[in-house]
Amino acid sequence: MRGVTKLTKKSVEFLQSIAVSILAAIFIIVFILETVSVDGKSMLPTFESGDRLIIEKISVRFTKPKVNDIVVFKFPADTREKYIKRVVAVAGDRVKIENNRVFINGIEKEEPYLNEAYINEGFQEAIVPENSIFVLGDNRNYSKDSRAKDVGFVNIKLIVGKALFRVYPIKRIGRIR
């Protein structure tokens, strides 16, 4: 028989290994980890535009986010867009922003990651609804976050994942805290 290529046992095993590796990579990308690129300056100084991050997607399916987690979520007004922000308050918390300071349940929030004073754009005191979070960018003057009507309180079902590790730029590589 001409033109017929015979597969050896080693080539079949090699092809099976490649197929399993591809399936494992797809599983990890779809269900466990994802890379995202920061676009914009709303999270300065924590993240700069162009930073590449690894987010983990599994814990947000089983546990609710905590205050100070940095999460990636689908923009409520257009779920094709993703935003990255810091969780400032969770369900049941009372949020108040006054004189450029954030108060959670009547206690001023310590925010050492902020670089400058910011201008509150008229956010009224509110209680975070069930299954929702209140998020703010670290660069408040340039952040579209829970203070904006088209973002508002973010339903936890819109959370894609939690920022875990910065992989780029190399000089800033490391775990996100």
- Cα(55)–Cα(35) distance, integer angstroms: 6
Would 136 be classed as within a structural domain?
yes
Q: What is the pTM of this model?
A: 0.83
Each residue's pLDDT tens digit, 61-91: 899 999 999 999 999 999 999 999 999 999 9
176 in a structural domain = no
State yes or no: pLDDT of 20 exceeds 90: no
- Is 39 inside a domain boundary? yes
Annotation says 49 is catalytic = no
In a domain, residue 102? The reply is yes
Asked whether residue 32 is assigned to any structural domain, the reply reads yes
CATH of the domain at 46: 2.10.109.10
Has residue 63 been placed in a domain? yes
One-letter amino acid identity for 85? K
| Residue of higher predicted confidence among 6 and 14 | 14
Cα separation, 37 vs 47, in Å, equals 10
- φ/ψ of residue 145, rounded to 5: -140, -155
Q: Decide if 117 is inside a domain.
A: yes
Res 124: pLDDT: 82
Please, where are the H alpha helices in the chain? 9-27, 59-62
In a domain, 57, yes or no: yes
pLDDT at 11: 78
Number of domains in the chain: 1
Considering 11, 17, 37, 42, which one is annotated as catalytic?
A: 42
pLDDT recorded at residue 33: 76
The pLDDT value recorded for residue 3 is 60
Q: Is it true that the peptide bond before 76 is cis, omega within 30 degrees of 0? A: no
Site of tokens 């290994």? 17
Enclosing domain of residue 114: 9-169
